Chains A and B, each alone.
Chain A
Amino acid sequence: MDRVLTFVNSDRPYVRWGTVLLALLIGGVIWEIVGLQFNQAIMAPLIGDGVDHPGTLPRLGRYLFDDEEYLLSLVQSIQLFATGFGLALAVALPFGIILARLVMLRVALESYILMLYVTPMIALIPFILSILGFDFWPKVLVVYLFAFFPILYNTLEGARSVKPELLEVAKSFRSSELAIWTDILIPYTLPYALTGIRQAAGRALVGMVAAEFFLSTSGLGEELQTASRNFDMAGVLATILVITGLGITFMKIAGVFEQKFSAWRGLDR
């Protein structure tokens, strides 16, 4: 029993990666078996038989390597994501630090920020649609709103927790406000902000698909809708895999930055 526990709880890399691979393999096999049981309009298997049961992975391969229109949709979606997410970053980061420095402004806006942070942004889509219409920019606004509040909220929390001792040192050394930002506020807040950015990346992806679904259809949202209207489950699942891949990529990138900029935090005495 002890040996079993030791093995199960082992942190050796080959046990770890072996476990991950095995879990994925089991998931894949289940998917394949279930997929083969159903009509292709209801469910598609992972690999499939190519005739009655078209597979998801072959479809994914065709999408990515042999379908220019699909790649165009992918680029369109990434553009939408990048614009909305980039704007959210550019506004939320400085705004978060300003709110931490100006107590009265923060107190005035805090309840609004909390409310909007917990509001499901998807509920605002009808408003945006009726006020702004179907262009590219209303869609950007949707992505922006999904991403903005997690970044703002975490940046604000980070900037608020800046150690007063460090601000005291800055004052004693006659620091300017600008230097307080570059020497203390930004480096101190960055790891917190990146936690928010990682959350925001996931949310912005939801925003992207929702915008492409409910406003004028475009990009991956449109591909998803078309496939689903044609009862093409392999297409639907392949597109979902593409979106999942995007999400994991964005999160990993943010995670790398988070580790890089918070190296000092975990070990700070």
Chain B
Amino acid sequence: MNAATAAADAQSSRIEINGVGKRYGDLQVFKDINLEFREREIVTIVGPSGCGKTTLLRCIDGLLPVNEGEIRIEGDLITQPREGVSMVFQHFGLFPWKTVRHNVGYGLKLAGAPRAEIAEKVPYYTDLVGLKGFEDAYPYQLSGGMQQRCGLARALTMEPSVLLMDEPFAAVDAQTREILQFELLKIWGMRPMTMVFVTHSIEEAVLMGDRVVVLKGRPSSVFEVIDVDLPAPRDRSTLSHPRFAEYREHVWNTLMDEVRAAEFELN
């Protein structure tokens, strides 16, 4: 464990979040967030509904401006979406009038990539996410899980150094979600990058994350950052690892009060 931590420390940080706060009018969503994400790690962000975890992710992507503090990626101040950063959306965000092939190639085409590069990368990543044979299908012909595979391929095709995942599997049924989690871990293992993964599922946060960031409070801030020390690579057997259950219970106990409060507020 010590060796692993030392190796992680040796990596330079890729994303720095310094004293960041976000307001909508009078409503302070989160405040004073300080985080550092390293070059090759998966950080999951978990918190109760309405804690602003998705908003934070959008700020990192440059889709939303922050009101306080600053976010830097590879040293650059983020004020708008930056090259090398890709996002996978909970709502998939596929273009219904484009086929899988053209949805996957969307980012490359926008970036003005040469035809040959598009012709090479689009089939590669389409295969990688398991959509081989569906290149000419339209999104409405695909199941939710397959649509999100397409969304993932669209982001991966950009070969980003930062991959932002906005509750990517929340709109997918439970069995498909498990399959996608492990496939994502496998794909990440082939080409590790900084992955920031927002989820409301505590299990998913512990399973996917090298570190789990727990957001809490109103306005929310970072309550705890947990180093998840589970054997790599993570796979189905991780779920039955005794320490997995410990981490899960730990995060659960941390969040329980807030989850209850949020539930009653929503009802």
Interfacial residues, chain A to chain B (CB-CB below 8 A): 165-166, 168-169, 171-176, 179, 183-184, 187-188, 264-265, 267-269
Contact = CB atoms under 8 A, between A and B. Distances in A.
Q: Is the interface of A mostly helix, strand, loop or mixed?
A: helix
Nearest to A269: B140
B107 A173 contact: yes
B95 interface: yes
Contacts of A188: 97
A174 B83 contact: yes
A169 to B, nearest CB: 4
Given A172-B63, A172-B81, A174-B83, A166 B140 contact: no
A265 B140 CA distance: 9
Contacts of A171: 63, 81
Given A172-B63, A174-B110, A175-B110, A268 B96 contact: yes
Interface of B: 61, 63, 80-81, 83, 86-87, 89, 91, 93, 95-97, 106-107, 110-111, 138-141, 144, 158
A188 B138 CA distance: 15
Contacts of A269: 139-140, 144
28 contacts: A165-B89, A166-B93, A168-B93, A169-B89, A171-B63, A172-B61, A172-B81, A172-B86, A173-B81, A173-B86, A173-B158, A174-B80, A174-B83, A174-B110, A175-B110, A183-B106, A184-B95, A187-B95, A188-B97, A264-B97, A264-B138, A264-B140, A265-B96, A267-B140, A267-B141, A268-B96, A269-B140, A269-B144
Contacts of A166: 93, 95
A21 to B, nearest CB: 36
Nearest to A267: B140
B63 to A, nearest CB: 6
The B interface is mostly helix, strand or loop, or mixed, namely loop
B141 to A, nearest CB: 8
Given A165-B89, A168-B63, A172-B61, A183 B81 contact: no
Contact of B106 (A168, A173, A176): A173
B186 to A, nearest CB: 25
Contacts of B138: 264
A268 B91 CA distance: 13
A87 B97 CA distance: 27
Contacts of B95: 166, 183-184, 187
A176 B107 CA distance: 12
Contacts of B158: 173
B108 to A, nearest CB: 10
B96 A264 contact: yes
A52 B61 CA distance: 83
